[in-house]
Amino acid sequence: MSARERARAIWQAALAAGDVAPLVRAHLHVDPGHARVVVLGCGKASAAMARAAEDVLGDRITEGFVVVKDGYTAPLRRIRLAEAGHPVPDARGLAASARLLDLAASAREDDLVLFLVSGGGSALAAAPAPPVMLEEKQHVTRLLLAAGATIAELNAVRKHLSRFKGGLLARAAWPATVVTLALSDVIGDPLDVIASGPTAPDPTTFATALEVLERHGVRDRVPASVRERLDAGIRGEIEETPKPGDRVFSRVTNLVIGNNTLITDAAVATAQQLGFRTCFLSREIQGEAREVAGELVGSARRLEPPACLVAGGETTVTVKGRGRADGARSSPWPPPWRCGRGTASRCSPRGPTAPTARRTPRGRSWTPVARSAAAQRGSIR
């Protein structure tokens, strides 16, 4: 096996560890006592998750609806599927969130609401709260993305401009039993940050959201309706998102079934089996993509071949001037990786190998050099 083939084997093992179907099947065990089972979902991997849920539950599913990014579909039998815009929300996401909220609100006390959530869910289920309009929320999202806001910061703002996020889906479904299966795409797996936590307690406040806008210098550039809503929330004129201890979470179970830990562990194990001296750097790398790339090049240069450097995390890109915020966050990496003349990646026989900006494979919500840590294992009873 050539060095390039071994590098590909490490990559494929990491992807296999994040395969959605086995993860859903391993964790989905539903009590037969529920009158109805309603399946809801949002996120880039939610179609694949829904398909796996259909395989497990079959005709026990009464009805269901999931929304995914354009092109991230899967054949479903009992669950309806819609596509919407990502990362900037669009009108289709607005309609999808309304459908999700209606189905959640229709659930009775003896029903089960199974919620399948993955990366991208926040943008795909846009539900702007009055007086904010969809176009205004889109503008805020673009401003924060261009300013280099982290996903946690972006979601703190989104939750307080939404009727769906920050535990509000759980509030709509109460008093039904709610079980959420989540694929984490954020560092540390905070449930309130994954897709902006539709079924999780929200520790952030209206004041937090306003602080994010101020920190990134966009407070005076957001629409007046956004400032109006946040200011009204700070004054107590708008009800806060549900916090830890709220009764709506008394019948909610949130379970992270897949994350960065599974993927980086698989990469490390495979590299070791293939005879590489494996250096595992971190699962929590953050910062500007170009700066992080340079640091990884430096780390790789210090390794004695044959060696493989494994790292995970989530970088950001600050768009300056009139630059466009197109492409994934790995897009700015190639220049610093190319400067090392074959020393950036000891796994490749042809010199540096950088993460690419290609779309994540359908049915998975992360790639080996991205995302979070601390898996939560278990089954749902």
Domain chopping of the chain, boundaries: 20-258
| pLDDT attached to residue 66 | 98
| pLDDT attached to residue 352 | 31
Q: What is the mean pLDDT of the chain?
A: 86
Q: How many other β-carbons are positioned within 10 Å of the β-carbon of residue 102?
A: 11
pLDDT of residue 338 exceeding 90, the answer is no
Q: How many other β-carbons are positioned within 10 Å of the β-carbon of residue 254?
A: 22
Q: Which two tokens mark 341?
A: 């003349």
Which amino acid belongs to residue 11? W
What are the start-end ranges of the E strands in 259-358? Answer: 277-280, 285-288, 307-310, 313-316
| pLDDT attached to residue 286 | 87
pLDDT of residue 310 exceeding 50, the answer is yes
Residue with more model confidence, 200 or 362: 200
Q: How far is CA 178 from CA 30, 40, 127, in A?
A: 11, 10, 20
Residue 37: pLDDT band by 50, 70, 90 thresholds? very high
| pLDDT attached to residue 329 | 53
Mean pLDDT of 268-288: 93
Residue 187: pLDDT band by 50, 70, 90 thresholds? confident
pLDDT of residue 357 exceeding 60, the answer is no
| pLDDT attached to residue 350 | 32
d(CA 81, CA 74): 9
| pLDDT attached to residue 349 | 31
Residues 272-302 as b or e (16 or more Cβ within 10 Å = b): eebebebbbbebbbeeebeebbbebbeebee
pLDDT of residue 171 exceeding 60, the answer is yes
| pLDDT attached to residue 9 | 97
Residue 378: pLDDT band by 50, 70, 90 thresholds? very low
Which strand (E) or helix (H) includes residue 140? Answer: helix 134-146
| pLDDT attached to residue 316 | 79
| pLDDT attached to residue 358 | 31
| pLDDT attached to residue 151 | 80
| pLDDT attached to residue 328 | 55
pLDDT of residue 162 exceeding 70, the answer is yes
| pLDDT attached to residue 333 | 58
Nearby residues of 213 by Cβ (< 8 Å), 6 or more positions away: 144, 157, 219, 222, 226, 230
Mean pLDDT of 225-243: 97
Per-residue pLDDT tens over the stretch 52-90: 999 999 999 999 999 999 999 999 999 999 999 998 889
pLDDT of residue 117 exceeding 80, the answer is yes
The lowest-confidence range among 23-32, 271-280, 332-341, 351-360 is 351-360
Q: Which two tokens mark 120?
A: 């991208």
Distance of CA 67 to the CA centre of its chain: 14
Residue 112, CA atoms < 13 Å, CB-side half-sphere: 22
pLDDT of residue 371 exceeding 80, the answer is no
Q: How far is CA 155 from CA 126, 144, 193, 207, 359, in A?
A: 12, 10, 6, 13, 22
Residue 327: pLDDT band by 50, 70, 90 thresholds? low
Residue 343: pLDDT band by 50, 70, 90 thresholds? very low
Are the CB atoms for 119 and 43 separated by under 8 Å?
A: yes
| pLDDT attached to residue 282 | 92
d(CA 55, CA 220): 50
DSSP class of residue 81 equals E
d(CA 347, CA 355): 13
How far apart, in Å, do the first and last CA atoms of the chain sit? 45
Helix (H, G, I), strand (E, B) or coil at 174: coil
Residue percentage of the chain with pLDDT more than 70: 84
3-state secondary structure 107-139: CCCCCEEEEEECCCHHHHCCCECCCCCHHHHHH
CATH of domain 20-258: 3.40.50.10180
Residue with more model confidence, 345 or 293: 293
pLDDT of residue 318 exceeding 80, the answer is no
d(CA 179, CA 167): 13
Q: Which two tokens mark 83?
A: 């596509």
